[in-house]
Structure 1
Amino acid sequence: MNLRAVLHRMWDSGPVTGSDLMASTGLTRATIHGVCEDLTQLGWIHEVENQREHGEYRMGRPARRYSFHPMAGVVVGVDCGQRKARTTVADLRGRTLARRDHAFSGLGHSAEERLEVLGRTVGEALEAASLDSAQVLTVTVGVPAPVDGTGRTVGTLNPFWERMNPDIVERLSELHGWTVLVDNDANLAALAEGWRGAGRGVRNYVTLLSDEAIGAGIVEEGHLLRGARGGAGEMRFLELVEGVGSASGITALCRDWAREAVGDRKAWPETRLRALAEEDLDAEAVLAAAADGDPLAVDVVERVGARLARIVSAVAGFLDTERFVLAGAVSGACARILEIVERDLPRYAHPPLPTVLASDLGDEVVLVGAIRRALDHVREHALEITLPAAAAAGAT
């Protein structure tokens, strides 16, 4: 308990003295110095030199000062979506050390390809940071599928979900010996918003991750809700909601509705979207055109906003949450969509109405959440972990 108390106190601070630790933990001086010696041997902290004050050392024996070692190991976060695997390597305070992305061959890529690209992306990110696999303490992978407490997607009878999470925990652990956590991508987005985004300081909020499909990460009284089999926040019930009809996300709706509409020259005789190649007619193009007043794009955005208002109302009706955070790759361009939600929400929901905000984390949101989940795991299990430096010292 003393080791844990001191380590957690130092994890988020700069260099501290024994007196600082005594004041913050209530432990005696002898206990503090014994604990600091133990944590130093374990590799979590190190003693730092005393700095001169105004060019001169203070009179008397200087106090010993200790600092947390953020490079005692590293954590890895992966956003393993439908189209690509994106990897971040971070130190133990969450500072990014390297990034690497790799696209899959297509939306229908195989489970084997998914595992191969995932492992390769992590390996290249570690190489870019001049690190080896032994320095990795935890890897967290976000996937667009429900995930149970063991990191697996089982019993869903959904081939897509099973392909998105083909026993990633077991395969990566076997290949590299890493501690691997797998979580739903919307859950990780919710963790990210609570750490560095629009959920900071809020006890009850829902993060709507809306790209190809829409999923919800639900935080209730400061705790992430997962459900009995990891299915809390799955949105297939939207197929039953009048005026919604599916769990398609903003990225998919903007793209698909615009591509369908550009062929109707009678309804839309003038639109700049018609000049784009089909592969360039994506959600970003539609939202940019709508911001400039393109009539077809404005109509698509109006439909998306009206649909999102119904979704927010439906979720708010049974969660009674105080805030919704719209997250995903295009969240930063959704100002008009949110205006429509604010306009329409009173038609469906009873006051007090939840606030609806756009995330500032953009397409990094799942990666940020994956790093947060990995850091939480390391902090919780720190005293059970043998750090690479300590293992090397023991071997010699």
Structure 2
Amino acid sequence: MSSETTGERSGGRTPVTSTQAVRDLNSSLVLDHFWQAPADAGLIATDLVAGTGLTRSTVLAIADELREAGWLHEDRAPSLVPGRGRQARRFTFNKQRCLVVACDIGYRSATCVVADLKGELLGRASRRFDGREAAVDRTGEVLEAVVEALQSAQVAPERVQAACFGLAAPIDRHGEPYPGNPFWDAVRLDFQRLRDFAPGWIWAVENDADLAAMAEISQPGRQGLDSSVTLLAGEWLGAGIVINGEVFRGANGGAGEMAFLERVSGVGSSLGPSAVARTALGEALVAGQNSVLEGQWRPSLAAIADAAASGDRAAREAIARTEEQLALAISTLSGFLDPGTVIIAGGNAGVLAPLLERIQDRLAQLVAFPPALQASLLGRDVVLLGAVQRALAAVRAAALEA
């Protein structure tokens, strides 16, 4: 037994001597193997021995305990070879043992999803925030979206174990937004009321850019993101910083906030591509230039990029300014973080993808070691998917506590 609990066997952890601690550690090793396995993968004892380093008798005993606790299903189908009886015992992860809820809450809307333990989305609902009054309590609308998402998934709240809410605001170490943040000038949430809705859930509140970074590094096959920045590039800029494969929040949770750009010469604000392009287009129209977008209220970045591609001069100038603003912002981040990769994420990622080659060329003029630029493939769901991963992490951490 002791040979299975050395630092080598447990990923560098300190050797364990307590019998209960040994059982917990070994159970964690087996269950972790199922968490990491592909969805619906059937694993036999040989797979578990190879994946954990434990003995066959140990993994089978633990698998039986996990099955009784509801974490695993067992499938011992008849052999396909006549006369050989039944196949080896095969276990699959019970991805619906419990569920998670994730919400992306912005200035104008909230979107909530329900997901299983492999991250598959089972239900979704959104709420637009009516009116534009300052500091309006949006708790009721967010709860409506949560309830509708549960109904969409056809599950009761009792099936959920953990929830994560992503906010467009810096979040401190206690899960509370910074006081005086502009987000709270537009949106108010009563966290106690949210928790009272489902007191049995594990609750987490995170910054939206940090969640976007979690989503990116959790994608299968994503290599080279141990030192990276995920840049949410919408109306505003927000950065999720990854160092040594972990999201870095800073001493008070404020790492990645971009308000400092207001004091950077040549940048002057933390506005994102949508706002920068729209402002530049408006200035061109005021200066007397013509544009096919004239008369449109709040044209999107996609509309401006389409107009630019069609030869609209004012739109081309707006896109050129957007490229320069992004290059300067990224070069500033690169100057003190030196990330290997910067991922442009959010709803504008697909629009900005064709511009990244020119931005990359500009970065080479601005910094000695420019990061590689990538456009996220997760679209507008990037924050939601990160919130799902954060909620799943909470379930995983508490898996063997009961």
Report the TM-score when normalising by structure 1: 0.88
Contact 1:205 1:220 in 2 (8 A): yes
Q: Deviations over 1:107-147 (max 9, x none)?
A: 546442x2111111111011011101011111111101111
Residue 219 of structure 2 corresponds to residue 219 of structure 1: no
Residue 194 of structure 2 corresponds to residue 172 of structure 1: yes
Q: Deviations over 1:336-368 (max 9, x none)?
A: 532332232233212x22111211111111111
Which residue in the other structure is 2:260 paired with? 237
Aligned pair partner of 2:396 in 364, 371, 379: 379
Contact 1:153 1:162 in 2 (8 A): no
Aligned pair partner of 2:324 in 286, 303, 306: 306
Aligned pair partner of 1:71 in 77, 80, 96: 96
Q: CA deviation at 1:299?
A: 0.3
Moved over 6 A (4+): none
Distance of aligned partners of 1:175 and 1:227 in 2 relative to their CA distance in 1, 3 Å threshold: same
Contact 1:259 1:278 in 2 (8 A): no
| 2:69 partner amino acid | L
Distance of aligned partners of 1:57 and 1:330 in 2 relative to their CA distance in 1, 3 Å threshold: farther
Contact 2:42 2:91 in 1 (8 A): yes
Give distance in 1, aligned partners of 2:324 and 2:98: 47
Q: Give 3-state SS (helix, strand or coil) of 1:262's partner.
A: helix
Structure 1 unaligned regions, length at least 5: 386-396
Q: Give 3-state SS (helix, strand or coil) of 2:218's partner.
A: helix
Q: Percent identity?
A: 38
Residue 53 of structure 2 corresponds to residue 26 of structure 1: yes
Distance of aligned partners of 1:30 and 1:287 in 2 relative to their CA distance in 1, 3 Å threshold: same
Contact 1:197 1:361 in 2 (8 A): no
Counterparts of residues 22-61 of structure 1 (less than 5 Å)? 22-50=49-77, 52-53=79-80, 56-57=81-82, 59-61=84-86
Q: Give 3-state SS (helix, strand or coil) of 1:346's partner.
A: helix
Once the two structures are overlaid, the 10-residue window that deviates more, 354-363 or 189-198, is: 189-198
Give distance in 1, aligned partners of 2:161 and 2:146: 13
Once the two structures are overlaid, the 10-residue window that deviates more, 171-180 or 88-97, is: 171-180
Which residue in the other structure is 1:326 paired with? 344
Aligned pair partner of 1:273 in 279, 290, 293: 293
Q: Deviations over 1:48-101 (max 9, x none)?
A: 131543xx4561453222111001111111110111111121110011112211
Q: Give 3-state SS (helix, strand or coil) of 1:127's partner.
A: helix
Q: Which has the higher contact order (CA 8 A, sep 6+)?
A: 1
Once the two structures are overlaid, the 10-residue window that deviates more, 143-152 or 254-263, is: 254-263
Which residue in the other structure is 1:188 paired with? 211
Q: Deviations over 1:181-231 (max 9, x none)?
A: 110000011111112289544210101111121011000111111011110
Report the TM-score when normalising by structure 2: 0.87
Q: Deviations over 1:13-69 (max 9, x none)?
A: 31122233233223233322321221112111121131543xx45614532221110
Q: Deviations over 1:143-183 (max 9, x none)?
A: 011112221124x4335347656353x33212212211110
Residue 340 of structure 2 corresponds to residue 340 of structure 1: no
Q: Give 3-state SS (helix, strand or coil) of 2:140's partner.
A: helix
Counterparts of residues 121-200 of structure 1 (less than 5 Å)? 121-154=145-178, 156-158=179-181, 160-161=183-184, 164=187, 166-168=189-191, 170-177=192-199, 178-196=201-219, 200=223
Counterparts of residues 12-23 of structure 1 (less than 5 Å)? 12-13=36-37, 14-23=41-50
C-alpha RMSD of matched pairs (Å): 2.1
Give distance in 1, aligned partners of 2:245 and 2:183: 31
Give distance in 2, aligned partners of 1:187 and 1:165: 20
Contact 2:261 2:268 in 1 (8 A): yes
Which residue in the other structure is 1:361 paired with? 378
Q: CA deviation at 1:284?
A: 2.1
Distance of aligned partners of 1:286 and 1:61 in 2 relative to their CA distance in 1, 3 Å threshold: closer
Distance of aligned partners of 1:241 and 1:67 in 2 relative to their CA distance in 1, 3 Å threshold: same
Q: Give 3-state SS (helix, strand or coil) of 1:272's partner.
A: coil
| 1:277 partner amino acid | Q
Contact 2:76 2:86 in 1 (8 A): no
Aligned pair partner of 1:118 in 138, 142, 154: 142
| 2:122 partner amino acid | L
Aligned pair partner of 1:85 in 105, 110, 116: 110
Give distance in 2, aligned partners of 1:282 and 1:26: 54
Q: Give 3-state SS (helix, strand or coil) of 2:400's partner.
A: helix
Contact 2:225 2:245 in 1 (8 A): yes
Give distance in 2, aligned partners of 1:6 and 1:109: 51
Contact 2:133 2:186 in 1 (8 A): no
| 2:297 partner amino acid | E
Which residue in the other structure is 1:393 paired with? none
Q: Count residues in correspondence.
A: 374
Q: Give 3-state SS (helix, strand or coil) of 1:321's partner.
A: coil
Structure 2 unaligned regions, length at least 5: 1-24
Contact 2:114 2:150 in 1 (8 A): yes
Give distance in 1, aligned partners of 2:234 and 2:221: 18
